[in-house]
Amino acid sequence: MQHIYIIQDKTNSDFIYYLKSNDYVKNFKEKETYISLSFDDELLPDFIDLLNSLSNDLFLPYKAISSPFEIPDNILQILIEYLKNLPQNTYTIGEILINQIKKNLSIDSYIKNYFLSSINQEMVESALTYIETSSIYETSKKLYIHRNTLNYRFDTIYKKTGLNIRNMIDAFVFFILFS
C-alpha cells in the first residue's frame, strides 16, 4: 500500500472532489494542512501522473510526499516544514531529507573548486549517475559507455580527490559536493 500526502497552500474543491471520487484511492482523509490518500503500490506512477495533470489543468501547485507506510502526524509535520523550500513535485522521504541535509551542510567552496579543477564534468556526471543507480551495469548503460571506462573514471576520481565512489561515505560526500 502506498500513501501520498498532498500539501497545498490553498484547497480547490474540484481537486478534492476528483481525488475523493477516483477509483485508485482506497483511503481519503482531509486534514487541516494536508490531504492523505492511500492506494495499491503498482499504481504509484499512474497516480503521480494524475496529480501532475490535475495540478496543470486546475493551475493548482502542490507538493506531495510518497511513502510505503503511514507517516505519524508529528513526523509528517516536520517533513511538511522541510517541503516549503522545495519546488512543486512528489517527493520520497529520502529525497526530502537529503535536500534538508544538503541545505544544512556547508563545505568550503575552495574544496569544491579544487575538486572540480582536478576532475572533468564527465567524471562528475558518471559518479552522480552511479550514486543514483547503485549499479555499474545500469550506469554504463544509461551513459552509453563501457563499464571499464566507468571503472577507469572512478579510479581517476579517487586518485585526484581521495573520494572512492564505491564507498558509501565517500559517495555521500561526493553527492553533497556536486549535486
Q: What is the pLDDT of residues 11-38, one digit of tens each?
A: 667 777 777 777 778 888 888 888 888 8
Tell me the pLDDT tens digit for each residue of 58-86.
777 788 898 888 888 889 989 998 888 88
- pLDDT, residue 104, reads 77
Numbered ranges of CATH 3.30.70 in the chain: 2-104
Percent of the chain scored above 90 by pLDDT?
27
109-178: CATH homologous superfamily?
PucR C-terminal helix-turn-helix domain (1.10.10.2840)
Q: Could you report the per-residue pLDDT of 46-59, keeping only the tens digit for each?
A: 777 877 777 777 77
- In the prediction, which pLDDT does 120 show? 92
pLDDT value for 106: 67
To 10 degrees, what angle do helices 13-21 and 44-57 make?
Answer: 150
Report the 10 Å Cβ neighbour count for 166: 13
pLDDT for 10: 63
pLDDT tens-digit series, residues 121-153: 999 999 999 999 999 999 999 999 999 999 999
Q: What is the CATH number of domain 2-104?
A: 3.30.70
Q: In the chain, which segments carry CATH 1.10.10.2840?
A: 109-178
pTM of the model: 0.68
